[in-house]
Structure 1
Amino acid sequence: MSDKKIKICHVTYDMRIGGTEQVILNLILGTKDQFNHQVLCIESPLGPFAKKLIDEEINIQSLTRKPGFDIQLLQQIRQYIMNEEIDILHCHQYTPWSYGVLACIGLKTKVIFTEHGRFYPDSISFKRKIINPLLSLVTAKITAISHATKEALITYENLSKEKIEVIYNGIEKLKFHNTETEKLDSLKEKLDLNSNDFILGTIARFDPIKNHEMMIRSIAELNSEGLSCTLILVGDGENKQQLESLIDQLNIREKVVMTGYQPNPKYYFKLFDVFLLTSFSEGTSMTLLEAMSLGLPSIVTDVGGNPEIITHNKNGIVIPSNNTDSLKKAIRSLYDNTRIKCQLSSNAMDDFNKFFIANKMNQRYSNIYKDIVNG
């Protein structure tokens, strides 16, 4: 085993653009010199991140999961594991884990389960509370992306806290070069932003769980109270029509910019004075980490992994969930307050480099891979 690379197969839903998929991508690209990585998706189409992996000559394949419990899918995964002589099956999210564990029964392949986040509101399934401890017996390691996620696995999934290790998501630091200034200026001109406005923004799918409505209502009230604020919403999704209706209802169309989906949204971060994350539930937000990597002050709700990443009044501001008055107060505290903004900015960048850069995450998983194969 020591003379060849450990063969790791990542089992996931697909490789669309999302937090789970970003973690898999970063982990593979960051450790591909140490390990032989492969990806097996249980749904199709593969998604945009798949192309990046294919370009790096990473073997990636997709299967087609049928509704209900798919026995054929289970057999296909098992056959793949045996054909490829997989050492570690790294399952991302619950459904890939349940299929992956069952597929590995009786094989030498070790199983890792990573929980990337929870549905909102969370709930207990009697069936899972019975089955999960049994699945855990065939699982070498369980990881969670935050302590809040770990607690959810203990409370709702009946998994042992001793077996769960917290590994925060890690990303590559966003970088800008001097040659990109022209692109940024062009974007400012395109969006027709008021140069005197305080710019608040977020990058997230338009989903009710993200609570964009609170941002929109806060911006409307702050502007009516005499502050000059613009809100930039980068993203798209099922809640778009409701958000547009609310913007029109509040008559603030000139103060809210909706950019639509952006495949490379990093330039928008450079437009923001403050990054907002007002979700009802979060694991470890990748866009929050991206904002921190640029030293952006952030205002986040006190849910999930947010308060584990943002320390109130140190590297950002933490507010109660779904509380418009608290959001307005936080925005006011940063409005035209250069000293506080600079302090939060510096601390955010420092904390990112200490805890959330991709190398930190990659090293933690690399140690697990080696330990469970060689231990």
Structure 2
Amino acid sequence: MSNNTKQTVIHVVSSLKVGGAERFVIDLCQEQLQLGMDVAILSFGLPEDALVKVCRELGLQFFILSGKSWQAQLKRYQILSKFDVIHLHSPAVLKSLIFHVMLLKNKTLIYTRHGAAPLRETHWVWLHRLARRFISAVTFVSADAQRTFGHHDWHNVPQYIIDNGVKLPTEVITSEHTGMAANIDILRLGSVGRMVKLKSQLSLLQAVSQMDIESQHKIELHFFGDGELRSQLEAFHQQHSGIKAVFHGMETNRENIYPNIDVLVVTSSTEGLSMVILEAMAYGKPVIATRVGGNPMLVKAGETGFLYEFNDIEALSSLISGLLQRNEQRQKLGTQAREWVNQQYSLAKTAGHYKELYSVK
């Protein structure tokens, strides 16, 4: 530790674009500040990234250093060397900082795997083989993520499963709070996330397109996010006039998202511990999600939502149909989801676990 009595921590992320891991890092920083820690964020992204504005509004200390020039590398080293704990939040970050990691081996170096991708490609295998001698501890957000990482042979590196936590809003904000009138005869389904292949949002549109016209007229789809596949989703929507869908684009304010949906739908092919699911539950929303990664840890069938097999369009369509006329059931599931998150996935608990881990070395 430094002579400063405060524990100093810098979180390193690939970018400050809207994403579950990035949003979690910002929330964690706020909680760590309340614990009396000195925290900062280092991003390799761009000043235009959406969450840069959020960091600025919250008064968080952050640095943005992109590029591979020797000047950028030196500046990164100078910034990182000022902190006792360096917390890396993605494989891409580890790759970018591999030589810094070697030079900063006297620091406490924490590597968190937010996803469950096995990273079996040769370049990832060699990177992790090189890095493991310098990492103080590796953390995972689910047992599934730890299991898929096993082939990297980090058995001599301390390993921990630390669930991502979420801070509950002080009240369940409804449509009335936001000025958007709610129609109890309409089921508003929300999709939140990057529009990329692994998120598979097209399957939600396909599921609704298989329903009868009367049912389609009782459903609204609200897509929050952006990405390379947005045009594909919009094209499918235009080809199926019976589907009501709104593409809101990138949205950083959670109070503009969750109060304006009734049920969150997660269609991903893989997930670690989904921050989107945790956030929706914190706002009292039930969830329909694929049975992958950490999703079954969060979504308890008939208690906090429902699960279905990835890419089973008929099963997804059936689950949506089942909720159409069951407003009371949706409310009960949402209430139970909020209680579950409050008990099991408290952000304060997560911050406490990391505080203990930072002090190990």
TM band (smaller chain):
0.7 to 0.9
Change (3 A) 1:137 1:214: same
Distance 2:247 2:12 in 1: 34
Amino acid at match of 2:84: D
- Structure 2 residue matching 1:105: 3-state secondary structure: helix
Distance 2:166 2:215 in 1: 38
Distance 1:306 1:268 in 2: 20
Match of 1:110 in 2: 108
Distance 2:138 2:270 in 1: 21
Indicate which of 147, 152, 170 corresponds to 1:151. Answer: 147
Unmatched 5+ residue regions in structure 2?
none
Indicate which of 201, 212, 231 corresponds to 2:221. Answer: 231
Match of 2:49 in 1: 47
Match of 1:160 in 2: 155
Change (3 A) 1:270 1:154: same
Measured after TM superposition, the shift of residue 52 of structure 1 is 4.3
Change (3 A) 1:312 1:111: same
Indicate which of 136, 140, 143 corresponds to 1:140. Answer: 136
Distance 2:332 2:60 in 1: 42
- Structure 2 residue matching 1:124: 3-state secondary structure: coil
Measured after TM superposition, the shift of residue 63 of structure 1 is 1.9
Change (3 A) 1:297 1:54: closer
Match of 1:24 in 2: 25
Distance 2:293 2:333 in 1: 21
Higher mean Cα deviation, 283-292 or 159-168?
159-168
Distance 1:159 1:308 in 2: 25
Number of residues paired by the alignment? 357
1:320-346 Cα deviation digits (max 9, x unpaired) = 000111112212332323454344223
- Structure 2 residue matching 1:222: 3-state secondary structure: coil
Amino acid at match of 1:159: W
Distance 1:236 1:223 in 2: 29
Distance 1:106 1:338 in 2: 58
In 1, are the aligned partners of 2:165 and 2:346 still within 8 Å (CA)?
Answer: yes
Please show how residues 1-375 of structure 1 align to structure 2 within 5 Å. 1=1, 4-32=5-33, 33-45=35-47, 47-54=49-56, 58-66=60-68, 73-82=72-81, 84=82, 86-105=83-102, 107=104, 108-118=106-116, 123-155=119-151, 157-160=152-155, 163-176=158-171, 184-185=178-179, 187-188=180-181, 196-224=185-213, 226=215, 228-253=218-243, 255-338=244-327, 340-372=329-361
In 2, are the aligned partners of 1:282 and 1:305 still within 8 Å (CA)?
Answer: yes
In 2, are the aligned partners of 1:197 and 1:229 still within 8 Å (CA)?
Answer: yes
Measured after TM superposition, the shift of residue 34 of structure 1 is 2.2
Unmatched 5+ residue regions in structure 1?
none
Distance 1:125 1:142 in 2: 20
Measured after TM superposition, the shift of residue 99 of structure 1 is 4.2
Normalising by structure 1, we get a TM-score of: 0.84
RMSD of aligned alpha carbons: 2.8
Amino acid at match of 2:222: I
- Structure 1 residue matching 2:195: 3-state secondary structure: coil
Distance 1:361 1:301 in 2: 25
Measured after TM superposition, the shift of residue 143 of structure 1 is 0.9
Change (3 A) 1:304 1:72: farther
Measured after TM superposition, the shift of residue 140 of structure 1 is 0.7
Measured after TM superposition, the shift of residue 293 of structure 1 is 0.9
- Structure 2 residue matching 1:137: 3-state secondary structure: coil
1:55-79 Cα deviation digits (max 9, x unpaired) = 555432222233xxx6665444333
Measured after TM superposition, the shift of residue 361 of structure 1 is 1.3
Change (3 A) 1:95 1:247: closer
Higher mean Cα deviation, 133-142 or 262-271?
262-271
Amino acid at match of 2:310: S
Measured after TM superposition, the shift of residue 212 of structure 1 is 1.7
In 2, are the aligned partners of 1:275 and 1:297 still within 8 Å (CA)?
Answer: yes
Change (3 A) 1:117 1:371: same
Measured after TM superposition, the shift of residue 260 of structure 1 is 2.8
Amino acid at match of 2:223: L
Change (3 A) 1:177 1:138: closer
Distance 1:221 1:106 in 2: 57
- Structure 1 residue matching 2:39: 3-state secondary structure: strand
Amino acid at match of 1:112: I
Change (3 A) 1:304 1:79: same
Normalising by structure 2, we get a TM-score of: 0.87
Distance 1:202 1:102 in 2: 39
Distance 1:285 1:99 in 2: 25
Distance 1:22 1:94 in 2: 17
Change (3 A) 1:339 1:40: closer
